[in-house]
Amino acid sequence: MRQTIITFLLFFCILSVFTVKAEDFLLSTPNTSLLLEATKGKPLHFQYYGSRIESPSEVYNSGTALWQLAYPAFGIETPQEAAVRVTHNDGNMSLVLLFDKLEKSKDAASETWKFILKDPVYPFQVNVCYKIYSDVDVIETWTEIFHREKKPVMLYHFPSASIPFRPGKQYLSHLHGAWANETQLYEEELLPGVKIIKNTDGVRNAQTDNPSLMLSVGQEPSENTGAVFGATLIWSGNYELKIDTDYYRRSRLFAGINPDASQYSLMPSEIFLTPPLAITYSVEGKGGVSRNFHRWARNHQLNHGTQLRDILLNSWEGVYLNITQDIMNRMMADIASLGGELFVMDDGWFGDKHARKTTASGLGDWMVDKKKLPQGIEALVETAKKNDIKFGIWIEPEMVNSNSELFEKHPKWVIGQENRTQRYGRGGHQMVLDLSNPEVQDFIFGIVDNLMTKYPGIAYIKWDSNMSMYNYGSYYLPKDKQAHLEIEYHRGFNKILERIRTKYPDLILQACGGGGGRVSYGTMQYMDEFWTSDNIDAWQRIFIQWGCSHFYPAIAMAAHVSATKNHGTGRVTPLKFRFDVAMSGRMGIELQPKEMSENELAFSKKAIAGYKKIRPVVQLGDQYRLISPYDRQQDFASLMYVSENKKEAVFFAYKLQHSRNQMIPRFRMAGLDASKKYRLEEINPEDKPFGLQGKTVTGKYLMEEGVDLSLTKEYASIVVRLIEQ
């Protein structure tokens, strides 16, 4: 009898080994699905990512399953490009990752699925994680890497995600630029080979290449039609987005922290968390992908993402470092009288022994310069209150000047090397503080904490950073962990910002990276908005803002009206044009109002009142890009925003080049409700409003036929509000 039972059990065990079934895992957002497949003890497969499907059979029955590894490891499958590559302490360089189990957790807006993958030989584990949102079409994906080996394991490659694409032609859209000309749009076909988009700045990761991309699948990039994949990395430090395309035009994206000079010695049981990569997919072209990212950013990434932003005056291009109590008071009174809501005192207010007279001194000494501001910040906050506006202030907390009391006291708090001469940055005297050092983290948190404790009336902080990471070396990190510096810097940065956000949830924070160096979700997860570029020439801003809008929402995109002629480009443009460009983002002003004529002040007042009318739609609506400034054959640019319920919209058109007898295109709108009727109302009319003022047209006609506009002057522009009738 016993024998029979044992035989029976054995048979059952053997049977169950052979019948361990493959499982399909369908991860769905409202309009997209990602399909994975796994069998316990076998690799995890990535089968599909695209429009929402209700059953895996749609993928299998159509023969379109990709059968690609979800997170390829180096060592056994060596011919293919791997995601993760490590060296174990015994010198073995291989890793095999087999599916063990799935763990799920949930919060109000998302579910997180963790696929636990284990090496059958080494006690090494990678959890491939997906956060699936229920209200937006975005999935965040990252990995958790750890081991229980006896000694450290060296990580050489450790991307957050590896995404395979269906075979066929792919077109890449990405942003590249330079200081004062950030987020320029570049589009190209992906040919066999490797395309790398990366950053090595060390501190700000978006001034040159942005950590975001789109892939148009099977057809050239188009605004409102076609299948497009989008990805953006939530990391503030160096990153690498690598797309490997093979002979069959099968592309695979590897995205994560830039592993270059950042090999990581992982201690037993330490968890190495890679930053999330947010991915999305749309069949409504690039515009669909942008709208998905914008909605996700407003609902889940930005602070106060659904709260309207104040209209501000920033002092920088108005007075630069020449701050005085009187000048600040006057600027506050001026912006208040124009209808503005916030004043931001920029660089130049601090330093005692090493006062901030030029950019060569003062950084690190965050005490008020009593010579410039004898009554201190409290008096400024008071003046703001009297004018019924809010008060904001500039800091550059990660940096120090060699001419500072901070550096005299803590020379080893900077990033630097024992045996080499220090390489300085801006002003010839700037250095980066070593944020891997917890004492430095406390100091930086203290800068904000002290300001907020002493002057609780501060409503807004502009957090600037004007230097890259030179002199790669940490006085704090041990010799064998110097390669951790870049990663530890940004972990430190995150810790500081988390503390700030916890203690000061209402504070509005602007991420500034010497212009647009911090237009990236790594920084933006703690911030409310970013400084888009130090270039506020309205004409050039059309291009910068257009590129930026591919991944970042208007509510976070600080867009200021500059003086004319523009300080950077020398271009002279009408005030209307400058306002009309700034109005398509988070509008502000950056000039000295005292120098404006009566007419200009009157126009500005009306423009600010006009912006207040359209602000909810611009900042919270869906964006539709209509005519690209990059399409230089058209000489025009045009875009619009539509409220979620489609009852309201705002249309913008700009003339980029003026010539006689010029062809003006028909402006076809998008995103409206075809069955609704909209009344057209010009915002910011100059002398006489445009010919269609007050007219009512159906959404269908506006989208199919469009409107003709007589944009006949140089730098002509128009902003039209559409209101459902």
Q: Given the rule CB under 6 A, which residues bind ligand DGJ?
A: 316, 346-347, 394, 464, 466, 512, 514-515, 531, 534
Could you tell me the sign of the dihedral formed by the alpha carbons of 400, 403, 405, 409, in that order? positive
CA distances from 37 to 83, 96, 106, 126, 581 (A): 18, 17, 21, 16, 48
Shortest distance (Å) from residue 139 CB to ligand DGJ? 33
Shortest distance (Å) from residue 258 CB to ligand DGJ? 24
**Spatial separation of the C-alpha atoms in residues 628 and 615, rounded to whole Å:** 22
Of 44 and 395, which has the nearer Cβ to ligand DGJ? 395
Tokens of 11: 């048979």
Shortest distance (Å) from residue 719 CB to ligand DGJ? 25
Of 263 and 569, which has the nearer Cβ to ligand DGJ? 569
Residue given tokens 């490997």 in the structure block? 244
**Which residues have CB under 8 Å from 100's CB, separation 6+?**
40, 41, 116, 117, 118
Phi, psi dihedral angles at 576 (to 5 degrees): -60, -45
Of 514 and 593, which has the nearer Cβ to ligand DGJ? 514
- Give, in degrees to the nearest 5, the angle at Cα 170 between 190 and 210: 65
Q: Which segments of 170-279 does DSSP mark as H helices, in order? A: none
Of 322 and 662, which has the nearer Cβ to ligand DGJ? 322
Shortest distance (Å) from residue 316 CB to ligand DGJ? 5
Buried b (16+ CB within 10 A) or exposed e, 283-304: ebbbbbbbbbbbbbbbebbbbb
Shortest distance (Å) from residue 79 CB to ligand DGJ? 47
Task: Say if strands 193-198 and 239-245 run parallel, antiparallel, or are unpaired.
Answer: antiparallel
The answer to whether 538 touches 582, Cβ cutoff 8 Å, is: yes
Of 342 and 720, which has the nearer Cβ to ligand DGJ? 342
Of 278 and 332, which has the nearer Cβ to ligand DGJ? 332
Shortest distance (Å) from residue 355 CB to ligand DGJ? 15
Shortest distance (Å) from residue 382 CB to ligand DGJ? 24
- Give, in degrees to the nearest 5, the angle at Cα 559 between 185 and 667: 60
Q: Which segments of 465-554 does DSSP mark as H helices, in order? A: 485-503, 521-524, 538-548
Neighbours of 594 (CB within 10 A): 13
The closest of 714, 566, 586 to 654, measured between CA atoms, is 714
The answer to whether 642 touches 617, Cβ cutoff 8 Å, is: yes
**Spatial separation of the C-alpha atoms in residues 412 and 476, rounded to whole Å:** 8
Task: Estimate to the nearest angstrom the gap between the alpha carbon of 634 and the chain centroid.
Answer: 29
Of 122 and 394, which has the nearer Cβ to ligand DGJ? 394
Of 197 and 311, which has the nearer Cβ to ligand DGJ? 311
Phi, psi dihedral angles at 11 (to 5 degrees): -60, -40
Of 590 and 681, which has the nearer Cβ to ligand DGJ? 590
- Amino acid making up residue 709: L
Of 32 and 540, which has the nearer Cβ to ligand DGJ? 540
Of 175 and 345, which has the nearer Cβ to ligand DGJ? 345
Shortest distance (Å) from residue 534 CB to ligand DGJ? 5
Residue number with the shortest CB distance to ligand DGJ? 347
Shortest distance (Å) from residue 433 CB to ligand DGJ? 17
The closest of 367, 385, 313 to 596, measured between CA atoms, is 313
Neighbours of 535 (CB within 10 A): 23
Of 221 and 348, which has the nearer Cβ to ligand DGJ? 348
- Give, in degrees to the nearest 5, the angle at Cα 379 between 375 and 380: 115
Of 525 and 562, which has the nearer Cβ to ligand DGJ? 562
Of 534 and 681, which has the nearer Cβ to ligand DGJ? 534
Tokens of 689: 């409003």
Of 314 and 564, which has the nearer Cβ to ligand DGJ? 314
Shortest distance (Å) from residue 346 CB to ligand DGJ? 5
Q: 183-189: which pairs have CB atoms within 8 A and are 24 or more residues apart?
A: 183/210, 183/516, 183/519, 183/532, 183/533, 183/544, 183/545, 183/547, 183/548, 184/543, 184/544, 184/547, 185/543, 185/546, 185/547, 185/550, 185/628, 185/630, 187/220, 187/221
**Which residues have CB under 8 Å from 422's CB, separation 6+?**
402, 414, 416, 431, 471
Shortest distance (Å) from residue 531 CB to ligand DGJ? 5
Task: Say if strands 312-314 and 342-345 run parallel, antiparallel, or are unpaired.
Answer: parallel
Shortest distance (Å) from residue 327 CB to ligand DGJ? 16
Shortest distance (Å) from residue 591 CB to ligand DGJ? 13
**Spatial separation of the C-alpha atoms in residues 370 and 374, rounded to whole Å:** 4
Neighbours of 108 (CB within 10 A): 6
Shortest distance (Å) from residue 359 CB to ligand DGJ? 6
Shortest distance (Å) from residue 464 CB to ligand DGJ? 5
